[in-house]
Structure 1
Amino acid sequence: MNKRAIGAIFEDKACAYLKDKGFKILHRNVRYKFGEIDIVALFRRTLVFVEVKGGSGFIPPRLRINEKKLRSIEMAANMYTKSLDHEYESYRLDVIEVLDNGEVNHIEGVGKW
């Protein structure tokens, strides 16, 4: 299985987790030339941009997100919000870590604006 297919499996698990927690999934894999947003979701009146990392290994998946990656996600999120026809109460960047054993960890508020 290629990297994109494996990533889609992790994103599917993340979406299922978010739906169970009351999030509404709006979009997946929103791409701009400088970055991608894995999941755009709505939780109450907050628009949430979600980066999904999965796998196993010595370094936990969530720790594979560096400052450069966060900046590219934030730039993509800013482009996304500019395309909206209305504003939300708040905006947030979360990270969801999906481990090979099926465990899901949700880190909320990695970025806010």
Structure 2
Amino acid sequence: MGNNHLQKGKKGELIAREYLTEKGYEILAQNYRYKRSEVDIIAFKSPFLVFIEVKYRSSDRFGFPEAAVSSHKEKMLKQAAEFYLENFEKEAFLRFDIVAILERNTKIDVQHFEDAFF
């Protein structure tokens, strides 16, 4: 599971990056780590600094990807965001998004949940 899980995660992040770039987001960091937290993508789209959790699934057998973001994960993302903000140079509003990717056969469905949690 380990290596396959990592490959799927990287594939999901690549799809999310392309999607966000097409929507006008400037990607600032990927796989940003702070202590035990990791933020998949940090992006800027004025006036928002956006911390993005990417969830990728190859089926909905175990539920939809966006449902996999736990309250514990939200807390960890917030801690990483606070640390990142200490060194961020621009004025920006903070936002937490989820990019949920569901791939069935050859069809890829990307959903972007803006302001997914506070």
Cα displacement (A) at 1:2: 2.0
Letter matched to residue 54 of structure 1: Y
Instruction: Tell me the matched-pair count.
Output: 111
Ranges in structure 2 where 5+ consecutive residues have no aligned partner: none
Distance 1:42 1:48 in 2: 6
Superposition deviation, residue 46 in structure 1: 1.1
Task: Note the 1:1-113 alignment, pairs <5 A.
Answer: 2-55=4-57, 56-58=59-61, 59-84=63-88, 86-100=89-103, 101-112=107-118
Q: Which secondary structure state, in structure 2, belongs to the residue aligned with residue 22 of structure 1?
A: coil
Amino acid at match of 2:39: I
1:34–1:75 Cα contact (<8 Å) kept:
no
| Structure 1 unmatched ranges of 5 or more | none
Q: Distance in 1 between matches of 2:6 and 2:84?
A: 22
Distance 1:36 1:12 in 2: 16
Give the 4+ runs in structure 1 shifted more than 4 A: none
Do the aligned partners of 2:102 and 2:108 also contact (CA within 8 Å) in 1?
yes
Alpha carbons 1:52, 1:96 under 8 Å: kept: yes
Equivalent residue of 1:49, what SS? strand
- CA shift at 1:4, angstroms? 1.3
